Amino acid sequence: MVDTLTEDTRLIHTPIRTLPQHIGIIMDGNGRWARSRGLPRHAGHRAGVENLRRIIRAVAETGIPHLSIYAFSTENWKRPRGEVKRLIALIDRSLRRELPELHQEGVQLRHLGSLDGLPRSTQRNVRKAIELTRDNRNLILNIAFNYGGRAELANAIRQILQEGVPVHSISETLVERHLYTSGQPHPDLIIRTAGEKRLSNFLLWQSAGAMLYATRAYWPDFDEDKLHRALTYYAGSTRE
């Protein structure tokens, strides 16, 4: 589904009868948002990070218990070195800045992906955030940081082989227990901004049955009204 309503359209936030239990968001379009305003790409990334806090709060207020965000993919390493360095530093700073408030609001942070290759200070900050918020229950926020769906599956297979599991004992349930999202429900809804209709290596296994909702809005412009629109579409398309 592609959202074709104009950016000026505003919805009256009526209650939604059927909410997803897990939303995944592919935050796309920061660079194009900046270019459309004559700004450098890093300005778009900053605007995207600022918007993320607003959307996390909006999701938490709906009562949806699980949110996964695609913050930095394994493919992002192919970008210009300077852009990658600034993007990682921006994510790191934002995590440190927002952590106290997220913790106070009962958000539990989890990391999807590999910490290998990230700066040591970033690795420490991620581990600190996970440990600090581990008992929070209002919202589980999965941050896919240095994450790739195919790499996740390869990692799961390696773990199963290292455990010496017999071939005949390998099942879908066993694979799922070795995924980064083990113990969590699969996403019901994947939202992608900036008009693309691809998963781009995001939660490939977990999204097999998810609804994909694509909006033309760039990520910095994806606000509470557009989130509500996506949830309304999901509710209207879900069989009861």
136 is catalytic: no
215 three-class SS:
strand
What are phi and psi for residue 25, nearest 5 degrees? -125, 125
The answer to whether the beta carbons of residues 216 and 7 sit under 8 Å apart is no
24 three-class SS:
strand
Amino acid at 114: S
Select which of 3, 28, 92, 188 is catalytic: 28
72 three-class SS:
strand
Cα–Cα distance for residue pair 176/239, rounded to 1 Å: 25
Cα–Cα distance for residue pair 18/59, rounded to 1 Å: 14
Select which of 3, 51, 76, 188 is catalytic: 76
225 is catalytic: no
What positions carry a catalytic annotation?
Answer: 28, 76
